[in-house]
Structure 1
Amino acid sequence: MRELLKKAFKLLTEWDDLRQTLKRGDPRRIFVGRFSKGNTKIIQTANSAPKRRQNVKRRQRVLVARRERIARAVASGVKLVLLVIVVIVVTADVLSYLRSSPRFAIAHIGVTGNTHETAETIMQSSGAAEGMNIFSIDLTRAAESVEEIPRISRACVKRKLPNEIYIEVSERQPLALILSRQLLYIDGEGKVFAPFEPGDVFNAPIITGKKLERLEIGDVAEAEGVDTALRIVEALGSMGCTDSIRVSEINIDNPSNILMVAEQSGASIILGSGDMKGKLWRLAKVAEEIGRNEHLDIANLERVDLRFEATVPAKFKGS
């Protein structure tokens, strides 16, 4: 196939050269002058002066030479056309063989990277099935179809000739729970991807709010305050705040005044708005002070207000 393409390119180059030559015409100009002897006459070309005398054939021979060049050009053009036809026919035969040969019927489909989603569901979504021709699968479209599964964040579909398909997936990791008509898992991108099942063990805050009540699996939570709540959950984990005060709920009904609920005592933690990392750092310091003070108990904490930078008002039960 490569040799055929080289020949086609060579013929195409020759045809172009000949076409340019015919378009320009013969660059030589012949002027009839005095004959010194016999058929000898002066010849002047486009690039030289008539400095020599030489024997030339009659003008009719020049026309014949032009006709011969035209004939050669036409012959080269015909050869080129025939070569292109041969390439097309051979290519069609090769494609027909690849798409119909039993050698390329899918005999195995492998799925990797899945923990919760079943391989059967992933294969079904990809559109690939055993017995199908391996070249009939659009790899890009198959990967996009797999990524439509709510739990799958990324998918890659590959061929392994002659008859194997491999699907690599990455599953979404839950960051928090969100309360809609049921408890649902949500990841760091705000994608709601699975229900919280009885028996699941997952220690993370529950994000609540009236705007979340209609969310379903597959939705992206775009309500105001959701992104802030997710960043708070990330900060709680990275700063180690969960070791001192465990947060069970983050309420976003008022995005400008976000509230958290402490798991140990049910205390209300008022965050307000602004620099959430700074507020959580002050909350960790409050928890440390409570732990060092033998007269105070985190279980008796009733309210903490983190809206102020200079001071952190805290109220305990019975005080």
Structure 2
Amino acid sequence: MRDYKNVRVPRKDRVSSSRTTVKRVTVSRTRKPRQTGAGRVFARLIGMVFIAAGIVLGWQGYQWAVRSGVFQVRGVDVKGVRQLTEQDIRKIAGVMAGGNIFTVDLDAAAQRARAHPWVKDVRVHRRMPDRISMVVTERVPVAILDTGKTRHLLDNESVAIARAASETAPLPLIMVRNAAVTYGDHVRAGGVLAALEVLAELSSRGGWDLGSMTIKADSADAVTLVYKGREIRIGSGNYVEKLRRLTEVMADVRQRKQDFAYIDLRPERQAAVMVRSSAGR
């Protein structure tokens, strides 16, 4: 075997550096011809023509939709109605019948519906191609306001709804003499708001026959509950704590087998009780 360790390489075949040589090659890119000024103007004109054509076609389509009988409102579907009469519904929804479904003013229709004392809220939608849908939320009476001359239904927001009929289901009575009442508006006279707050608290606690209850509320400071021949003087404010005290006092009176004429809860953290008679007598 031949030994190549001591072989001499001719000078002409020797390499002076061990680094790799990299050569850069510049490749010329083909440039696109620039658009001339006339070409740019022509392109803009073409774009403007297309935009104008789109506007014209859109306007013509709108005119056709507005005038076409296909989109004429043929009916209004009303849901959630129990107290509104057919005549009330016609007044609210009748103005939309026969109009174009795209041009009918839904906001105006909703505002007209909310103006009715029984309507608390309403949602109005288009149902293509030719119907309108109305979903009504009616007010729910929670008490009867007695002004000394007339009686009116109130909801939990103190809004006067309508005249209380004799056949109205049993509801708690709030007595505020000479209170001004406008249907659809809030009643702020006397202690109406305080009386409603007391009723809401009693309703949440349960165990009370609210239909047998009368609240005298000529003023917020003189709120008095009359229940089954007994008088409970509540006064104004802090109703949660006062009704808690009332529960404790009534339980104590029953345990003692006594009856009371009235309980006064107006003193802070106290209760004055006027005992009437023994329950066994």
Give the shorter-chain TM-score range.
0.7 to 0.9
Tell me if 1:270 matches 2:229. Answer: no
Shift of 1:162: 1.1
Given that 1:207 and 1:251 are in contact with CA atoms closer than 8 Å, whether structure 2 keeps it comes out as yes
TM-score by length of 2: 0.77
Q: Deviations over 1:106-144 (max 9, x none)?
A: 222211001111244234224544322222212222222
Residue ranges of structure 1 left out of the alignment (5+ in a row): 1-64
Counterpart pick for 1:214 among 172, 180, 196? 180
Q: How does 1:237-252 map to 2 (within 5 A)?
A: 237-243=203-209, 248-252=213-217
The equivalent of 1:162 in structure 2 is 129
Q: Identify, as 1 or 2, the structure richer in helix.
A: 1
The equivalent of 1:99 in structure 2 is 66
Report the Cα distance in structure 2 between the residues aligned to 1:71 and 1:127, rounded to whole angstroms. 60
Counterpart pick for 1:189 among 157, 163, 188? 157
1:246/1:191 Cα in 2 relative to 1: closer, same or farther (>3 Å)? closer
Tell me if 1:150 matches 2:117. Answer: yes
Size of the alignment, in residue pairs?
A: 245
Which residue identity does 2:161 align to in structure 1?
F
Higher mean displacement: 106-115 or 247-256: 247-256
Report the Cα distance in structure 2 between the residues aligned to 1:269 and 1:246, rounded to whole angstroms. 16
State the identity as a percent. 26
Secondary structure at the counterpart of residue 272 of structure 1: coil
TM-score by length of 1: 0.69
Shift of 1:96: 0.8
1:280/1:152 Cα in 2 relative to 1: closer, same or farther (>3 Å)? same
The equivalent of 1:34 in structure 2 is none
The equivalent of 2:194 in structure 1 is 228
The equivalent of 1:261 in structure 2 is 226
The equivalent of 1:113 in structure 2 is 80
The equivalent of 1:10 in structure 2 is none
Following TM superposition, where does structure 1 have runs of at least 4 consecutive aligned residues deviating by more than 6 angstroms?
none
Given that 2:76 and 2:93 are in contact with CA atoms closer than 8 Å, whether structure 1 keeps it comes out as no
Given that 1:241 and 1:280 are in contact with CA atoms closer than 8 Å, whether structure 2 keeps it comes out as no
RMSD over aligned CA atoms reads 2.6
The equivalent of 1:285 in structure 2 is 248
Given that 2:101 and 2:131 are in contact with CA atoms closer than 8 Å, whether structure 1 keeps it comes out as yes
Report the Cα distance in structure 2 between the residues aligned to 1:306 and 1:272, rounded to whole angstroms. 7
Shift of 1:309: 4.8
Q: Deviations over 1:245-284 (max 9, x none)?
A: 976322232322322222x21x332112331112112222
The equivalent of 2:101 in structure 1 is 134
